[in-house]
Structure 1
């Protein structure tokens, strides 16, 4: 299955858990000062969980543009914003029906009137976007998934205005307790032979800072952050798409063994009065004038 189809299939589960990384995103948006921008780009927006917040914080005439590799994710983001914009004071944007998502118009006049645009796109090639267009480029939990990271940063640099800011969040594999716990249970159940996820060169401050410098950005600020995950019981929403594919092909015996191990892993964590936590490395930087 190709990557876009994997994330299409995972879109509704991701929609349910997307709130967890909000701690990273709120910190990033605060450091970027989104309230001062005229044009904001959310590159790899998933279901647009924080777009409501950005719309509330932005300047009156600021335009928010967003895209995702998965068409299903963009449809969720658009449906979510249409529901919010139709009734901003009494709207449960989480309660979006499958029909609303399936039938959503990505080019809805309501979205355009509110200076909001979402489309399917690839961070590695953005012919839809102009040079020097945006004040802020947001890359939240995206860059680690991209095949050609250099090309993605070149595109980010191109579409940012001189003096524009990029904001990046990279998950740290060795600090991702839910992922490590799932991986451990998969190995013990015989579903994978060994650790599938290794740290990348971007998961330490020096590596990430050097990578951003290499692509021409300046005035870099970088920090680590850890947040809790609301994982208190076995929940299929937290089985990431790469693992879901493996489970779908496994024998019933192996699947049952995995869920038994997973349940014990969750309970053992709770017995220690500890939440499942996720660590990320965040960074902001400027395109020189």
Structure 2
């Protein structure tokens, strides 16, 4: 998927993003991010947890963030500006299209967002591709976080090599990737798409990395050490069809499909939600989470 797909999806993605943010909370706890001097959130989307990080990090710690989508960058910046302008009432979930468009982005360009208020709070956000980050120096960061991102990039090896480059010796990386076999959300959507005749097979597999051994070997190959890896499962707050947790690769299919097939899909999806709730079970997503160190 290209950045235009994510640009178009940026505001709808907020509903989904707040769920796997739980993975990032676990990562930050395991990485002890409150001890860091400089942190990078690589592939930050709408910056769901940046408010929390700014409140919990050391005062002089710098937080940098980037995303492939310029609209995601604008959204994250607008949310942080709202919070910083009014910390007591700067909720970051309720951001209107007007607030995004009217945020003080006067010096904004496609590669960097510079703003005095953000700079005063040691926060910088820019558009960037995790596979190549020329904006960042070698050996710059104490912590590199990438939550639900690496599986989406075309060249995963290059992305991890770039993470290794920008980390300081002794710096720590924390990544999360979904496990296809444990992704009830994706399995349910796929089933409904197939039954509605919209697709013949699974259109999207997150990654070939499915086990702890797979990801540990992958990270070891790129020089990381002291690896800790765990499986983690989180629930989604999906209770009715109006919650509309439709991922970008599926939304593109629906946008092009005949109305009768779209209606059939939503009827099937609604029934699947009802069935799950009847079993007193949430929809869930499983991930592989990992932390590791760059050697001294």
TM bracket (short chain): over 0.9
- Superposed counterparts of 1:111-130, under 5 Å: 111-130=118-137
SS in 1 for 2:132: coil
- Distance in 1, Cα, partners of 2:205 & 2:63: 34
TM-score by length of 2: 0.95
Residue 82 (structure 1) aligns with: 81
**Structure 1, residues 149-179: CA drift from partner, whole Å, max 9, x if none?**
0100110000000000000001111111111
Task: Assess, with a 3 A threshold, how the Cα gap between structure 1 residues 288 and 133 changes in structure 2: closer, same or farther.
Answer: same
Residue 225 (structure 1) aligns with: 232
Q: Which deviates more from structure 2 when the two are superposed, residues 229-238 or residues 176-185?
A: 229-238
**Structure 1, residues 112-153: CA drift from partner, whole Å, max 9, x if none?**
111100000000110000000000000100000010001001
Give structure 1 stretches of 5+ with no counterpart.
none
Q: Which deviates more from structure 2 when the two are superposed, residues 201-210 or residues 119-128?
A: 201-210
- Distance in 1, Cα, partners of 2:29 & 2:19: 17
Residue 9 (structure 2) aligns with: 10
- Superposed counterparts of 1:1-80, under 5 Å: 3-80=2-79
- Distance in 1, Cα, partners of 2:172 & 2:228: 11
SS in 2 for 1:12: coil
* Pairing partner for 1:161 from 143, 160, 168: 168
TM-score by length of 1: 0.97
Residue 201 (structure 1) aligns with: 208
1:287 aligns with 2:278: no
Q: Which deviates more from structure 2 when the two are superposed, residues 228-237 or residues 28-37?
A: 228-237
Deviation, 1:17, is 2.6
- Distance in 2, Cα, partners of 1:199 & 1:67: 21
Deviation, 1:285, is 0.2
Task: After the TM superposition, list the runs of 4 or more consecutive aligned residues in structure 1 that deviate by more than 6 angstroms.
Answer: none
Deviation, 1:102, is 1.9
Aligned residues: 288
- Distance in 1, Cα, partners of 2:205 & 2:124: 35
SS in 1 for 2:252: helix
Residue 247 (structure 2) aligns with: 240
